[in-house]
Amino acid sequence: MIFDLAIQNAQMLLVLALAPLLTGFIRKVKARLLRRQGPPLLQPYRDLLRLLRKEAVLAENASWLFRVIPYLIFAATWVAASLVPTFAAGLMFNWSADLIAVIALLGSARFFLALAGMDAGTSFGGIGSSREMMIATLAEPATIMIVFTLALLAGSTQLSVVAGFMLSPAVGLRVSLGLALVALVMVAIAENARIPIDNPATHLELTMVHEAMLLEYSGRHLAVIELAASLKLLLYMSLIACVFIPWGQAQPGGGASAQMIGVAAYIAKLAAGGVLLALFETAVAKMRVFRVSDFLGAALMLGLLGTLLLFVSRSL
């Protein structure tokens, strides 16, 4: 029991500690791909520290909601991130909530961020919020379809159960899983405001989605939101790793050595994910805002197809 609690706490702290590193790592890889030196790996931590030390400037007509929202977003994202099994499955919190809860938490965080974008009444915030909502209306149903596919296969929406099922020989080679994987990757790209949906490095206020909602934030508020964004990226990578490549993950009842292997495997998976994301982002341009619906519509259809296939044929 104590050991379980320790592992659970270790996992919660690990995701928090690793999240900025993942962001820094992706930036570094992208910079190297562009023949640049790039900022040091630890730069995101320094940025967070710098922001924390700075004064938080508030817009004159910002409401109390504007001040509270960064913490709400952070809390929701952190809780969601600790629900996803990273290096070990079957942790205490895993049983308290399932994949649907993770999606609901992220959806609430997004809802609050969109509110904050509109709170100060600037035009950029409004633009960002409206674009974010357009993305949400397509990304969230797509995610739900993916969850259905997994749930139908594994017989549960509990992530630990899904991971355990994926490790068992009962999985076989399934088309619907492939469809779900592609759809989940597409959703993850959109949810994390990455190229080709959004550009996390842009300075062009008119093209922003995620950044446009944050334009009025500064100081500790901005730091907390930035950390939440890093956490969300880590969450999605962990989710993909947990569901589709759970190998190496410590299973319930595993000892300390299994946990160590789990941590090593987890970090290797994150690194691989980071490299792949950087490669992909370097190779494509951002799409027109109105093409986003095509992109996410495809994700939704893939998810739907994956679910349907399971009804049509038990072996697909």
Partner 1 sequence: MPALAEMIARGRLIEAHRPCPRIAVEEDLWRAFASMLAEGRATLLGLWGEAGAVHMGLLDEAESAACIVTRPCPEGHFPSVGRAHPPAIRLERTIRDLFGLEPRGLPDPRPWLDHGRWGLRHPLAIHPAPVSAPEPYPFLTSEGEGLHQIPVGPVHAGVIEPGHFRFTANGEAIVRLEERLGYAHKGVDSLTTGAPIERAARLAGRMSGDSTVAYALAFARAVEAALAIEIPPRAIWLRALMAELERLANHFGDIGAICNDVAFALMHAHCGVLRERVLRAAAASFGHRLMMDCIVPGGVGVDLAEGAAAPVRELLDVARGAFPALIELYDNTASLQDRTVGAGVLSMALARQYGCGGFIGRASGRNFDARRNLPYPPYDALAFEVPALSDGDVNARVWIRIREVEQSLSLVEQILDAMPEGPISVPLPANKSGEGMALVEGFRGDVLASVRLDAAGRVACSRLRDPSWFQWPLLEAAIEGNIVADFPLCNKSFNCSYSGHDL
Q: Which is nearer to partner 1, 30 or 269 (CB)?
A: 30
Residue written as token pair 């070990």 = 88
- Contact flag: residue 34 with partner 1 (CB under 8 A): yes
* Count of CB atoms situated within 10 Å of the CB of 218: 16
| Interface segment toward partner 1; rule CB under 8 A; list 103-111, 203-211, 221-229, 248-256 | 203-211
On the 0-12 / 13-18 / 19+ scale of CB atoms within 10 A, 292 is: buried
> What is the Cα gyration radius of the chain?
19
Q: Which is nearer to partner 1, 5 or 133 (CB)?
A: 133
**Count of residues touching partner 1 (by CB under 8 A):** 33
| Nearest-angstrom CA–CA distance, 211 and 316 | 41
Provide the minimum distance between the beta carbon of 200 and partner 1 in the complex, in angstroms, as a whole number. 9
Residue 249 DSSP label: P
| Nearest-angstrom CA–CA distance, 110 and 96 | 22
- Judged by CB under 8 A, which of 61, 96, 282, 313 binds partner 1? 282
Q: Which is nearer to partner 1, 174 or 286 (CB)?
A: 286
Q: Which is nearer to partner 1, 156 or 207 (CB)?
A: 207
- Contact flag: residue 130 with partner 1 (CB under 8 A): yes
* Count of CB atoms situated within 10 Å of the CB of 240: 17
Site for partner 1 in 98-117 (CB under 8 A): none
- Contact flag: residue 137 with partner 1 (CB under 8 A): no
- Contact flag: residue 201 with partner 1 (CB under 8 A): yes
* Count of CB atoms situated within 10 Å of the CB of 35: 7
| Nearest-angstrom CA–CA distance, 149 and 178 | 11
- Judged by CB under 8 A, which of 73, 127, 147, 309 binds partner 1? 127
- Judged by CB under 8 A, which of 7, 11, 29, 30 binds partner 1? 30
Q: Are 194 and 27 in contact (CB under 8 A)?
A: no
- Contact flag: residue 4 with partner 1 (CB under 8 A): no
Q: Which is nearer to partner 1, 209 or 243 (CB)?
A: 209
Residue 89 DSSP label: S
- Contact flag: residue 288 with partner 1 (CB under 8 A): yes
| Nearest-angstrom CA–CA distance, 295 and 279 | 19
Half-sphere exposure of 53 (CA within 13 A, CB side): 6
| Interface segment toward partner 1; rule CB under 8 A; list 74-82, 125-133, 171-179, 246-254 | 125-133
Q: Are 135 and 295 in contact (CB under 8 A)?
A: no
- Contact flag: residue 61 with partner 1 (CB under 8 A): no
| Nearest-angstrom CA–CA distance, 220 and 50 | 9
Half-sphere exposure of 168 (CA within 13 A, CB side): 10
Q: Which is nearer to partner 1, 191 or 198 (CB)?
A: 198
- Judged by CB under 8 A, which of 20, 117, 125, 196 binds partner 1? 196
- Contact flag: residue 173 with partner 1 (CB under 8 A): no
- Contact flag: residue 193 with partner 1 (CB under 8 A): no
| Nearest-angstrom CA–CA distance, 52 and 47 | 9
- Contact flag: residue 287 with partner 1 (CB under 8 A): yes
- Contact flag: residue 136 with partner 1 (CB under 8 A): no
Binding residues vs partner 1 (CB under 8 A):
30, 33-36, 123-124, 127, 130-131, 195-196, 199, 201-208, 215, 281-291
